[in-house]
Amino acid sequence: MEEIPAGRPTGLKAMLRTDAVPGITNGVANIPDAMANALLAGVSPVAGLYALLVGTPAAALTTSSTYMTVAVTAAMAVTVGAGLEGVPADQRGAALSTMSLLVGAVMVLFGLLRGGRMLRFVSNAVMKGFLNGVALLVIIGQLGNVTGFEAGRPTKLARALETVLNVREWRLSVVLITVATVLLIVVLDRSALKQFSMLIALTAVSVGVAVFDVAVPLVGDVSSIPKGLPMPSMPDLALAVGLLVPAASVALIGLVQGGGISKAYPNPDGTYPDSSRDMIGQGVGNAAAALVGGVPVGASVSSTALLAGSSARTRMANILIGAVVAVALLLLGPLVEQVPLSVLGAILLVVGVSAIDLPGMLDVWHASRESAVIMGITLVTMLLVPVQYAVLTGAALSAVQYVYNSSKDVRVVELRSMGDGRWMEASPPAVLPSNTTTVVDIYGSVFYAGVDLVDTLLPCVGDAERPVLIVRLRGRSEIGSTALEMLRRYRRDIAAADGRLILAGVEETLIARLQATGFVAEIGEENVFPKSDIVYGSVEAACELGDSWLAERSAEEQ
């Protein structure tokens, strides 16, 4: 019988007791956030609620993580908005559903391919540049809603500059509503009601606008909010080709955010979630959201942290978010139309400002100049080009940085026996000594980018006579074709000097690869020493072979 971990609810009543309050709290807190982020994506605020309604519960049932809340996030919404910019207004709804489906498909594919292992190649520098760029875009994108000024420039950055330069044309009523909303959120964030600060501010200011009949743009001016629950419909796959790149970028953002959550929050039983299965769960959530016209969803750091720090113990807490939204849609749908756009814009301003991570950027700056440059490039790219291309640029920069750092972090050392079973490291000789057994070990990458550096650090053959070189390869399951060609060239040079090349500490998998390429036959099986359970055991055996061979050759000449 399966043992029930301590603290896990054993019945429905116990489950509801531990999960109901955190689930309802998280659901209520996500409502204004989802509406604001949908507006950020350039679609109706109700699309954010539809995503929570079905996407969040569907993901909760399929992720490996108990606590991961899959919801509408600002980072993904910014990218969705950039991907939909060229879509005509009358096709936005269909395009949104199609994008959510594509995002889900990409996420599921990554999960099935065990893509969780690939996330480590997205560097922290790129993520800091990207997330801070998102924060700035969130702020820039709402300047029109919070000032009432309609800029006519073609890009967000140009529109923001135009707005700032035309302060006299701002609408005072809109600005006052924005200021009131921000101040109320800031005050409530310092009280016991901080979990509901945005919802309270949204409700209170909206009621105030209605009571005093203040003429400002409302949600209803952008889109009507139907009362009741949405009916399922199929996305328009004819739009898929043009949305594939933006959808892949949106998916990558969600997967990176989810990967961080998978590593940060263990399940109630103490085990850490499978990040690849979490990818599949996020994909399922997006597929479900697509069927009701919802915004793409992804792992939410803030909502997950709320549940992990609460009494929640099962997936029911995240499933209840959908129930909370269903109640809101059934009872409050028409009231959502009365929410001022400036209130949602103010919420996003608070979100954007709070998301700017100056300490994190300073850490990157002090840690490495290369990382600082990559962070800066990513940040500037976010502001100047469509977000989906900035995301792909950041991913490419991560890969380039990894390859570059791996290639330069290479060392070659000479190993010298101290006679008592211990070995010391020393700088290798520039030229192999004649009639001597030399042992070298290689630290760092021996793939194509690092091979040239390894080649320059290894002792050259020069005018040596009968040199014996032992190369230790312990801990390497493969070396790549470029390194293999280098070893072939090295073996020929040593053979031309009547010497001998020996490999020691070779893993079984690498031996199989070297046999398949014919290199073992070239070098001779007797010159390949498999890895020993005793550290340096194979090196000692290789040294015995090299020394005895030199002794035999010397005896033959006498």
Check which CATH number belongs to the domain holding 432 and give it: 3.30.750.24
Please report whether residue 6 resides in a domain. no
Please report whether residue 76 resides in a domain. yes
Say what the pLDDT of residue 3 is. 38
Say what the pLDDT of residue 121 is. 67
Same domain for 488 and 357: no
Same domain for 390 and 516: no
Strand order in the sheet with 468-472: 423-426, 411-417, 437-443, 468-472, 500-506, 528-530
* 1 pLDDT more than 50: no
Say what the pLDDT of residue 514 is. 93
Same domain for 285 and 152: yes
The rounded distance, in Å, linking the Cα atoms of 251 and 254 is 5
Q: What angle do CA 460, 462, 463 make, to 5 degrees?
A: 145
Alpha-carbon distance values, 132 to 12, 274, 298, 359, 400 (Å): 42, 28, 18, 11, 21
* 519 pLDDT more than 60: yes
Q: What angle do CA 27, 287, 250 make, to 5 degrees?
A: 85
Alpha-carbon distance values, 141 to 87, 135, 194, 347, 390 (Å): 18, 10, 25, 12, 17
Say what the pLDDT of residue 227 is. 77
Q: By three-state DSSP, how is residue 364 classified? A: helix
What is the model's pTM? Answer: 0.69
Greatest mean pLDDT range, 32-46, 171-185, 297-311, 375-389: 171-185
The rounded distance, in Å, linking the Cα atoms of 406 and 445 is 6
pLDDT-derived band at 6 (thresholds 50, 70, 90) equals very low
Task: Name the burial class of residue 532, with classes exposed (0-12), middle (13-18) and buried (19+) by CB atoms within 10 angstroms of its CB.
Answer: middle
pLDDT-derived band at 196 (thresholds 50, 70, 90) equals confident
Contact 199, 28 (CB under 8 A): yes
| Selected residue with higher pLDDT from 461 and 445 | 461
Task: Name the burial class of residue 343, with classes exposed (0-12), middle (13-18) and buried (19+) by CB atoms within 10 angstroms of its CB.
Answer: buried
pLDDT-derived band at 9 (thresholds 50, 70, 90) equals very low
Instruction: Using a pLDDT cut of 70, give the percent of the chain over it.
Output: 94
Residue 333 CB-half CA count within 13 A: 16
If we measure between CA atoms, which residue out of 136, 185, 143 comes closest to residue 165? 143
Contact 82, 384 (CB under 8 A): no
Please report whether residue 75 resides in a domain. yes
Alpha helices in 121-274 (DSSP H): 124-141, 143-147, 156-164, 172-188, 197-211, 219-222, 240-264
Alpha-carbon distance values, 480 to 451, 453, 470, 517 (Å): 9, 15, 19, 11
Please report whether residue 315 resides in a domain. yes
Alpha-carbon distance values, 122 to 114, 377, 472 (Å): 16, 15, 31
Same domain for 436 and 374: no
Same domain for 216 and 69: yes
If we measure between CA atoms, which residue out of 400, 368, 405 comes closest to residue 128? 368
Domain that holds residue 500: 411-557
Cα 311 to chain centroid, rounded: 28
- The whole-number average pLDDT for the span 535-542 is 93
* 5 pLDDT more than 50: no
Helix (H) or strand (E) holding 85: none
Mean pLDDT check: name the lowest of 2-6, 118-122, 260-264, 543-547: 2-6
pLDDT-derived band at 12 (thresholds 50, 70, 90) equals low
Number of domains in the chain: 2
If we measure between CA atoms, which residue out of 109, 77, 113, 123 comes closest to residue 96? 77
Same domain for 395 and 420: no
Residue indicated by tokens 């053979």: 495
Please report whether residue 493 resides in a domain. yes
Please report whether residue 3 resides in a domain. no
Residue that finishes a domain, picked among 404, 431, 466: 404
Residue positions counted in the chain? 558
Contact 328, 76 (CB under 8 A): no
Contact 313, 21 (CB under 8 A): no
Residue indicated by tokens 């800031």: 186
Same domain for 171 and 119: yes
Please report whether residue 2 resides in a domain. no
Mean pLDDT check: name the lowest of 275-279, 448-452, 455-459: 448-452
Same domain for 427 and 398: no
Same domain for 517 and 469: yes
Same domain for 386 and 487: no
Greatest mean pLDDT range, 371-385, 386-400, 454-468: 454-468
Strand pairing category for 69-71 and 298-300: antiparallel
Query: What six digits make up the tokens of 339?
Result: 């929410």
pLDDT-derived band at 158 (thresholds 50, 70, 90) equals confident
Looking at residue 88, its amino acid is P
The rounded distance, in Å, linking the Cα atoms of 38 and 146 is 16
Same domain for 188 and 158: yes
Same domain for 116 and 90: yes
Q: CA quadruple 137, 140, 144, 150: dihedral positive or negative? A: negative
Q: By three-state DSSP, how is residue 464 classified? A: coil
Alpha-carbon distance values, 244 to 170, 247, 255 (Å): 38, 5, 16
pLDDT-derived band at 36 (thresholds 50, 70, 90) equals confident
* 412 pLDDT more than 90: yes
Please report whether residue 102 resides in a domain. yes
Mean pLDDT over each residue of the chain, to the nearest integer = 86
Contact 83, 248 (CB under 8 A): no
Residue that finishes a domain, picked among 404, 423, 449: 404
Q: By three-state DSSP, how is residue 41 classified? A: coil
Say what the pLDDT of residue 2 is. 36
What angle do helix axes 197-211 and 12-40 make, rounded to 10 degrees?
Answer: 60
Residue that finishes a domain, picked among 346, 373, 404: 404
Looking at residue 406, its amino acid is S
